[in-house]
A and B are shown apart, each in its own frame.
Chain A
């Protein structure tokens, strides 16, 4: 009898603190890793449009940022048009081997001139890129 009462007393004194610590650490880890792809994207003044309202969108094969001064960035690194073309060629070659169709996401500064957009798109079009997407930011007060 005495031994049973001791066991129950031990159960009641179970320390939950380390378990809660671990649970919170896991929550924070998964929240950060799930948004990691988006966090890798540099901050840019994108056009204010509501975009395509589909919630699940396919991750693009290549993301190109266009800064206000006409500089292009791929994976946060300044990249010239020749290098972009080479990367796109590699992407197209990889997609021909059974991968998903190669597409490009352009994230332009909304005040940049269309010539910056045309310059890169003309190059991509010339090597056979057909699908592209423009990145937008949902304006405040938008219905969606």
Chain B
């Protein structure tokens, strides 16, 4: 394409379009794609962290007589794997615990306590099950570990 120049009109519209079209975009597109790939890859590596809120409750303390006693989930280790015990019922999986908890009244809340050798993943599972079952009042009762 040729640049049309006339003494009367100066640069013509045609020549202006030609100049804009010649803007070197290649390097910018290269950089944009590199950044795009970089952020796609890094976002896959970074795992999403979340938080599971709960309250703290001392054993036998902090509860007034007028308060409703919370239902207690005890986590014990049986044959090397954690078991969730509620009264006389014992379940092994988080899904079973959730369905068990969802049948209970929500107002009194739920308290979780665990044996010292239980992995923390089981504590988190119990708190998650309580949350998913609809308990707004969730507390954890730490044992007096040595």
Q: Which residues of A contact B (CB under 8 A)?
A: 1-2, 4-5, 8-9, 12-13, 16-17, 20, 24, 27, 31, 38, 41, 46-53, 57, 60, 66, 103, 105, 108-119, 121-122, 124-126, 129-138
Pick from A31, A114, A125: contact of B56, CB under 8 Å: A125
- B40 in the interface (beta carbon within 8 A): no
Q: How far is the CB of A33 from chain B (nearest CB, A)?
A: 15
Tier of interface size on chain B:
35 or more
Interface contact A130-B52, CB-CB below 8 Å = no
Residues of A near B56 (CB, < 8 A) are 121, 124-125, 129-132
What residues on A are CB-neighbors of B128 within 8 Å?
49-51, 136
Q: Does A52 lie within 8 Å of B123, measured CB to CB? A: no
Check if A52 sits within 8 Å of B51, measured CB to CB: yes
| One of B19, B54, B120 near A113 (C-beta < 8 A) | B120
Q: Are B35 and A24 in contact (CB under 8 A)?
A: yes
20 contacts between A and B (CB under 8 A): A2-B10, A12-B16, A31-B39, A49-B124, A49-B125, A52-B52, A60-B51, A105-B51, A114-B118, A114-B122, A115-B143, A118-B143, A125-B56, A125-B57, A131-B55, A132-B54, A132-B56, A134-B51, A134-B127, A138-B50
Residues from chain A with a CB closer than 8 A to the CB of B27 are: 17
Q: Is the CB of A8 within 8 A of B16?
A: yes
Give the distance in Å from the alpha carbon of A129 to the alpha carbon of B75 in the complex.
23
B145 to A122, Cβ gap below 8 A? Answer: yes
Q: How many A-B residue pairs have CB under 8 A?
A: 155
Contact A113-B47, Cβ < 8 Å, known A52-B53, A122-B145, A131-B55: no
Of chain A, the residue at the smallest CB distance from B132 is A50
Q: Does B48 contact A (CB under 8 A)?
A: yes
Given contacts A49-B124, A49-B128, A66-B120, are A133 and B54 in contact (CB under 8 A)? Answer: yes
Docked Cα-Cα span, A21 to B125, in Å, equals 47
Select A137's contact among B16, B47, B57, B145, beta carbons within 8 Å.
Answer: B47
Q: Decide yes or no: A130 and B55 within 8 Å by CB, A49-B125, A114-B116 being known contacts.
A: yes
- A134 contacts across to B, CB distance below 8 A: 51-52, 54, 120, 123-124, 127
Query: Besides A38-B49, A117-B142, 4 other CB < 8 A contacts?
Result: A114-B116, A119-B142, A129-B56, A136-B50
